[in-house]
Structure 1
């Protein structure tokens, strides 16, 4: 165990805030400020401050569990548990074929683990059926970004650019609660004279900070963006020179926007024409401006088109590929970006390569030492994979995800999981999904392992091990190594994360997400490196001795600007060659990642959500997060301080709707959709539209919001429509409805 503070990063959201960890006598760690990391400058939210609580032995899993003949999960040895998993996966493949085995990953896995899981699925199991919960995060933004720019990276610029811009439109995001340390960027924007516009059907804590808050009806963000573009055109605010020199497809996109005149958009969205005009003025008058989207517009069955419409607004006004301007997506999960870049996603190979691209298959197959023809093709997306459990997919290996709480139409997903012949789960805690498994494996946590993550900025970061995991706990890399060996693949699945990363570098080389110029040595002395960062050869022997010798030597190496301790702070270490690629903090300044270097307008038109309100289900439900909980709550619901702040679910209702229902503050209210029913206390507030209710999605049981949500999928991204579905309200124990 180290006795000094280890600089690392928070295990939660995609900000990946910097923190220092110091071991404590009880075997956990103490968190302290790390002011040198530019994203949070030492600030942490409650989740980050209390993250060490999950390291305690009485909270986490410390022994494998195997379901016995009586149906009870009981402690077992590692050999027994691994033999059981390997045997069941082998039997499933033999009886039903490789695609009868599914793999489901998570956006919290490090790059090394995500990479290895994708390789394991395709090389060891030979299955195409792999996806991950990051599909539910920013897949619509990714699809739209690739269509328009030829490349997707959450933010194509660092967060530090936000305060320097003239105007930011924040669409469907509530960073004050979802990633609190980031709120300072928007506060500084206003302090610098910039304008913040927040678009959200609720008056959130973020919306309260805005210069202008627009509250559209859920599911109408596409029409809103088109209406704004219509006004940009009508008011002569198009940057004609930029459109001519840096884009293609403008005429078709222009024609589509002109069909969405302001009064028509007002009827669809509920946002008044004067508010639309004021938004256009505030956005267009400064020299620079940005649009940032999050789950609000993205988690829709038309999410790709919706994000595309906001990108079109940026392109028409010359707000992309220019300093302090652009479109970006605020990724949610800690490694949601890296998790899909390196092989967990059903249609992608490492380096953000497409699985159906022969050249991509050949490159990655060579790195893996396999025949390209042996690699399976694209498989099902996340919800489609979950929906096939127990029928086409008979066995499932699941890592770092809790779909019983987090998936849409969650009761149905739970039924499908129960219908499996076999389920194996790797997790830190006994989540609601792990509790249904046949085998549960306890795995290491963030403070107990070294690995890389990629933040919402595209900044690749090094998390460093601060303490040793308890006896009985192994890393996910060890699990995959042992399973691969039991299934006949003895080589190619190392347990050392740095060794895995070295292979990832080669696999990603030349791809859109090129990490080949990034090394653990480099990450150990820098505050992250932005991809793409292609490799540049350095002279033999130029690396410092202090970081030779594997992971343990790396962990003992000092973090300042020079691992050898010879270079003054802020100066470039002498051992780094001047030709080393610096990384790419800002994309698209010279050209876009398309064959001709031009951004593409994609014409889109408004269409309704998949399930509009009607007489039987007259109210819209939208879902989201609260500041003290995270995602499915599997971890944060085990932290006393966080539970005290957010003890359970609730239904946010406007006073007019509550009066029609006859509900008072705190009364239990049932929310009913075509898929299920959830019950939670009423929270009555004017901060929400009268035609809309809101529920956070962190809890299981009768308050499970995702029992209600609609799995209608975006045709391109395969994103489910979490953010809008038709419901009715019922006073519990009575027949009244509203």
Structure 2
């Protein structure tokens, strides 16, 4: 064989080799593990995702997003150099110049406008290390009080409710493996079939074992198909169902009086108010019949074991906190918590939505779920960070309130990392106008997102395949995500960028980390003896299956179930919440006669910055579609598949219709994964929950208008269309 042929054959064999990368899906809170096989055949690369059957959470399952997650990593749209905007165009510049320019701008703005004029805006997809470091960078590197993150729009209602009711916020109070043994399961405002499909088999097993499943949702979904009872609630009126059920549980003797007496506080006030709860009024308000409310209460009350889960359908309201508290009254009233197959769960949405809110990204938090307003907590973290407690900034404001502060020119510069606030915030037309007022905007992202388009400077960040670190899934399981794919040249990890920026600002001390594990070691110390205690967790201990926090020492196995004997308040007791619903709800009117609610699709994640750059995912869901009942569509002259306009008090957007008889006639549904004119948050309300500052995403009165005007003759709601005359384009 000639030397040429030998060389050619060797080269082809080399090119045909497989590379196997152990990793995690970067998307939802299940954090499914997998092996991604990269095969190089001649000059072409082929990828295949293989699920990890030993994963204790997903049990060897992947959904369509996980299978195709790698596609955005290899997209030719990735940003691979710092980009500065000159005369409206982005131009490549060296990292050294970019960092120097950012430091100069931040220093100048803080000198002229004050320390708090610079803000940091984070994301629930950052690793624990990066979330922790962003909080430290804001408070030590920038010395600003202004930091919050997009998780404010995900878990804040449930987190605040759980903290107040139980004294601790962890997504699930029990491990997922206990679900199969529950005899009744309530799924309130959660569509796990589309949002967390790889855990749906836990609920199927429960049903096979005899569980009675109740789903509370305005729409029929893949999850409601599993239900024995579907309560098709009016959007936002979930608390009326919960209070109606509590009334039935009390009247019919289903309450656990011993549990209430020994392990809870505040029930006397609830008991005093229960006589004022009228079941027929609860039915009228919620849109669910009194008989259905009775049936749901009886099934939950008589079940020996049971779980209650909530998610964004219950939580993304200006009364989301109270919604959750009312449902927690059911859990506490029946004593279904703190024992096998009995508990509560808030189904986390973002990949690291749990860990992201535990270590300092929220305006009011310090690492370990400590409070920034607690002097003892402040002193401890200041000592870990090597600063004086007096130099630690105070409490800032929530994510949307930062946009209002920008509009008022209280914030004049911002660093955005792993988030796309132009699309994810409510009232996004206002948000975009506000961001354009900034003197200086830096965005750290893999792509030129809708927010990055407004930036003065973009910094390129690494992907999930390239960035090692820990993530905390919906169980509270801290796991290690390996990074076995090299970064593109010119890209940095988010934590590296923060360290470099701190150094450029003259704050190198405290930010001289060389790898993610070093940051985690400091996080362990910072979380020690906090509510979210990670101090007993190490990279070595979590290589395989992870550990569920709290884990206070390296010999501790973790805590899959909370509250076996005590809750986390000082007195060890859980707290009931008053049953009265005081909120004035958004109401339909002649001008805005339909209720809009929003949510997720299985194919996409958050604002779609990554999933819309996955060809296989985009081909399955190319554009947002408005789910509308055919009778409702006929009333307003909306043809199936037609483009039309939605208007609210906040603004307008264009969307295509999709007829469905699986939704209430007074309600329409739209996904939130698209930007620009297709962003549904152009119309959503900025009303905020007073307890947790969650915006009102799930209820917004709107009107729908065809892009071609028509003259219609109705017979009331859902009436027949008798005459149609084209009037020309609007």
Q: Is 1:405 equivalent to 2:423 in the alignment?
A: yes
* Cα distance, 1:672 vs structure 2: 0.9
* Cα distance, 1:460 vs structure 2: 0.3
Q: Residue 76 and residue 256 in structure 1: after superposition, are their counterparts in 2 closer, same or farther (change >3 A)?
A: farther
Query: Is the Cα contact below 8 Å between 1:620 and 1:692 reproduced in 2?
Result: yes
Q: Is 1:14 equivalent to 2:29 in the alignment?
A: yes
Residue of structure 1 in register with 2:721 after alignment: none
Q: Is 1:436 equivalent to 2:454 in the alignment?
A: yes
Residue of structure 1 in register with 2:550 after alignment: 532
TM-score (norm 2): 0.93
CA offsets 1:458-495 (integer angstroms, 9 cap, x no match): 00010001111011111111111111111111221114
Q: Residue 438 and residue 257 in structure 1: after superposition, are their counterparts in 2 closer, same or farther (change >3 A)?
A: farther
Query: Is the Cα contact below 8 Å between 1:651 and 1:669 reproduced in 2?
Result: no
Residue of structure 2 in register with 1:507 after alignment: 526
Equivalents in 2 of 1:412, 1:217: separation in Å?
A: 28
Q: Is 1:421 equivalent to 2:436 in the alignment?
A: no
Look up the SS of the partner of 2:327 in the other structure.
helix
Of residues 617, 621, 624, the one that matches 1:649 is 624
Q: Is 1:705 equivalent to 2:680 in the alignment?
A: yes
CA offsets 1:304-338 (integer angstroms, 9 cap, x no match): 11100000011111112222111110000001111
Look up the SS of the partner of 1:243 in the other structure.
helix
Residue of structure 2 in register with 1:373 after alignment: 390
Look up the SS of the partner of 1:712 in the other structure.
strand
Residue of structure 2 in register with 1:165 after alignment: 182
* Cα distance, 1:57 vs structure 2: 5.0
Look up the SS of the partner of 1:440 in the other structure.
strand
Alignment of 1:349-498 (within 5 A): 349-390=366-407, 391-493=409-511, 494-498=513-517
Look up the SS of the partner of 2:568 in the other structure.
coil
* Cα distance, 1:260 vs structure 2: 2.3
Query: Is the Cα contact below 8 Å between 1:223 and 1:605 reproduced in 2?
Result: no
Extract unaligned runs of 5+ from structure 1. Answer: 537-579
Look up the SS of the partner of 1:734 in the other structure.
strand
Of residues 523, 541, 550, the one that matches 2:542 is 523
**What is the alpha-carbon root mean square deviation over aligned residues?**
1.6
* Cα distance, 1:607 vs structure 2: 3.6
Equivalents in 1 of 2:93, 2:49: separation in Å?
A: 33
Equivalents in 1 of 2:486, 2:605: separation in Å?
A: 25
Of residues 273, 280, 301, the one that matches 1:263 is 280
Alignment of 1:566-645 (within 5 A): 580-608=555-583, 610-645=585-620
Of residues 700, 715, 722, the one that matches 1:725 is 700
* Cα distance, 1:630 vs structure 2: 0.9
Residue of structure 1 in register with 2:193 after alignment: 176
Residue of structure 2 in register with 1:153 after alignment: 170
Query: Is the Cα contact below 8 Å between 2:216 and 2:232 reproduced in 1?
Result: yes
Equivalents in 2 of 1:716, 1:226: separation in Å?
A: 20
Equivalents in 2 of 1:281, 1:440: separation in Å?
A: 56
Look up the SS of the partner of 1:383 in the other structure.
helix
* Cα distance, 1:359 vs structure 2: 0.7
* Cα distance, 1:703 vs structure 2: 2.0
Alignment of 1:265-414 (within 5 A): 265-390=282-407, 391-414=409-432
Look up the SS of the partner of 1:711 in the other structure.
strand
Equivalents in 2 of 1:99, 1:421: separation in Å?
A: 14
Look up the SS of the partner of 2:357 in the other structure.
helix
Alignment of 1:683-698 (within 5 A): 683-698=658-673
Q: Residue 734 and residue 256 in structure 1: after superposition, are their counterparts in 2 closer, same or farther (change >3 A)?
A: farther
Query: Is the Cα contact below 8 Å between 1:28 and 1:467 reproduced in 2?
Result: no
Residue of structure 1 in register with 2:8 after alignment: none
Aligned length: 693
Query: Is the Cα contact below 8 Å between 1:166 and 1:286 reproduced in 2?
Result: yes
Q: Residue 3 and residue 517 in structure 1: after superposition, are their counterparts in 2 closer, same or farther (change >3 A)?
A: farther
Runs of 4+ in 1 over 6 A off after TM superposition: 735-738
* Cα distance, 1:23 vs structure 2: 4.1
Query: Is the Cα contact below 8 Å between 2:593 and 2:701 reproduced in 1?
Result: yes
Of residues 647, 655, 670, the one that matches 1:680 is 655
Equivalents in 1 of 2:492, 2:400: separation in Å?
A: 29
Q: Is 1:77 equivalent to 2:52 in the alignment?
A: no
Q: Residue 620 and residue 736 in structure 1: after superposition, are their counterparts in 2 closer, same or farther (change >3 A)?
A: farther
Residue of structure 2 in register with 1:37 after alignment: 55
* Cα distance, 1:608 vs structure 2: 4.3
> Which deviates more, 373-382 or 603-612?
603-612
Residue of structure 1 in register with 2:255 after alignment: 238
Look up the SS of the partner of 2:442 in the other structure.
strand
TM-score (norm 1): 0.92
Look up the SS of the partner of 2:465 in the other structure.
helix
Query: Is the Cα contact below 8 Å between 1:305 and 1:604 reproduced in 2?
Result: no
Look up the SS of the partner of 2:155 in the other structure.
helix
CA offsets 1:645-671 (integer angstroms, 9 cap, x no match): 101011111122111112221112211
Query: Is the Cα contact below 8 Å between 1:346 and 1:380 reproduced in 2?
Result: yes
> Which deviates more, 138-147 or 48-57?
48-57
Equivalents in 1 of 2:279, 2:586: separation in Å?
A: 24
Equivalents in 1 of 2:48, 2:452: separation in Å?
A: 28
Query: Is the Cα contact below 8 Å between 2:638 and 2:705 reproduced in 1?
Result: no
Equivalents in 1 of 2:271, 2:311: separation in Å?
A: 25
Equivalents in 2 of 1:248, 1:607: separation in Å?
A: 22
Look up the SS of the partner of 1:84 in the other structure.
helix
Q: Is 1:94 equivalent to 2:111 in the alignment?
A: yes
Equivalents in 2 of 1:253, 1:146: separation in Å?
A: 19
Equivalents in 2 of 1:93, 1:706: separation in Å?
A: 31
Equivalents in 2 of 1:628, 1:51: separation in Å?
A: 11
Query: Is the Cα contact below 8 Å between 1:314 and 1:320 reproduced in 2?
Result: yes
Look up the SS of the partner of 1:521 in the other structure.
coil
Query: Is the Cα contact below 8 Å between 1:355 and 1:361 reproduced in 2?
Result: yes
Equivalents in 2 of 1:204, 1:461: separation in Å?
A: 31
* Cα distance, 1:227 vs structure 2: 0.7
Equivalents in 1 of 2:206, 2:480: separation in Å?
A: 29
Query: Is the Cα contact below 8 Å between 2:248 and 2:298 reproduced in 1?
Result: no
Query: Is the Cα contact below 8 Å between 1:100 and 1:395 reproduced in 2?
Result: yes
Extract unaligned runs of 5+ from structure 2. Answer: 1-13, 718-730
Of residues 135, 140, 146, the one that matches 1:118 is 135
CA offsets 1:123-155 (integer angstroms, 9 cap, x no match): 011100000000000100011101110101011
Q: Is 1:185 equivalent to 2:185 in the alignment?
A: no
Equivalents in 2 of 1:609, 1:160: separation in Å?
A: 40
Query: Is the Cα contact below 8 Å between 1:137 and 1:295 reproduced in 2?
Result: yes
Query: Is the Cα contact below 8 Å between 2:637 and 2:710 reproduced in 1?
Result: no
Look up the SS of the partner of 1:170 in the other structure.
strand
Equivalents in 2 of 1:616, 1:155: separation in Å?
A: 42
Equivalents in 2 of 1:118, 1:377: separation in Å?
A: 12
CA offsets 1:71-108 (integer angstroms, 9 cap, x no match): 21111111121112111111110101110001000000
Look up the SS of the partner of 1:279 in the other structure.
helix
Look up the SS of the partner of 1:698 in the other structure.
coil
Equivalents in 2 of 1:444, 1:535: separation in Å?
A: 32
Equivalents in 2 of 1:608, 1:598: separation in Å?
A: 27
* Cα distance, 1:255 vs structure 2: 2.9
Look up the SS of the partner of 1:213 in the other structure.
strand
* Cα distance, 1:678 vs structure 2: 1.5
